[in-house]
Structure 1
């Protein structure tokens, strides 16, 4: 009924010429994940600060953001990535550093888009802290 894929078909590398770098959730405590997808949204490569060996508060540093982003994009370059768009979300400290690390790799950037979610008066905020 279904054709079984051979091992060489499963491990065959895809060629991606244009992709999107999603820098998810750059918070003040972490830059959690960087994901490189093709134009359709299929994941090509990814990297995170924990996967790069950062633990604890070192995940929140701009150096961690630079390392994670360049790691993910280098993997995608090996698969043939030549043009990129960047989607970045979150208010963290590593935003500009992550974008600079992509620019230093020499790939043309067509679009930098901030996709940080903003509430339109949705949930009620927590009460003010009393110290």
Structure 2
């Protein structure tokens, strides 16, 4: 009986020792940080994205926006109103003081070519080269800009006097001649060299407008 009494207290002491070790481990563990957010806490809401405008609204805004005004065409050919060009001496300038200005004016375009007395080109321009497109190439304003551009190139070679040869029935023939005079060139002769057929090819039919 004495042996059984000694064994019983030994069995009851063992679980007490285990509980004491667990309590010591728990007390030694660092306390949980209070800054941690609880599991059930809601995440901060993301910033709302701006609502996309529908395609129809964008088209309506584009249609409502005022269209840019086209540049006004200055048709003044007064020498006082026309800006004098800044003449820069061209590379390999030929020192040509007298030349011939060939003005080709058609219903669709205006081309000005300036040559020396031997026919060597010293300056040329056309409505497309100056920046006009479509039906604007046949206007009188385009012919004025073409003549100024071609004469600016020729004056870089020292041109001062020109003989003007006009060819074609276009609307820019007179404007081109006036622009050549307004820019500072001396016009010695103005000739109309439009070819006239002596019952040659059949002309095109009339347009039905």
Bin of the TM-score, shorter chain as denominator length: 0.7 to 0.9
TM-score by length of 2: 0.53
Q: How far 1:78 moved relative to its partner? A: 1.5
Provide structure 2 residue ranges, at least 5 long, that are not aligned to the other structure: 1-90
More strand by share: 1
* Number of residue pairs the alignment of both structures matches: 119
Give distance in 1, aligned partners of 2:175 and 2:205.
33
Say which SS state the counterpart of residue 154 (structure 2) adopts. Answer: helix
Q: Name the CA shift for 1:122/1:54 in 2 (closer, same or farther; >3 Å).
A: same
- Give the TM-score of the pair, scaled to structure 1: 0.83
Higher helix share: 2
Using a 3 Å threshold, how does the CA distance of structure 1 residues 86 and 124 change in structure 2: closer, same or farther? same
**Which has more radius of gyration?**
2
Unaligned 5+ residue runs, structure 1? 1-10
Work out which structure has the larger RCO, using CA pairs closer than 8 Å and 6 or more positions apart in sequence: 1
Task: Determine if contact 2:93/2:156 at 8 Å carries over to the other structure.
Answer: no
| C-alpha distance in structure 2 between counterparts of 1:35 and 1:130, whole Å | 34
Aligned residue number for residue 65 of structure 1:
143
C-alpha change, 1:129 and 1:90, in structure 2 (3 Å) is: closer
Structure 1 stretches of 4+ moved >6 Å: 128-131
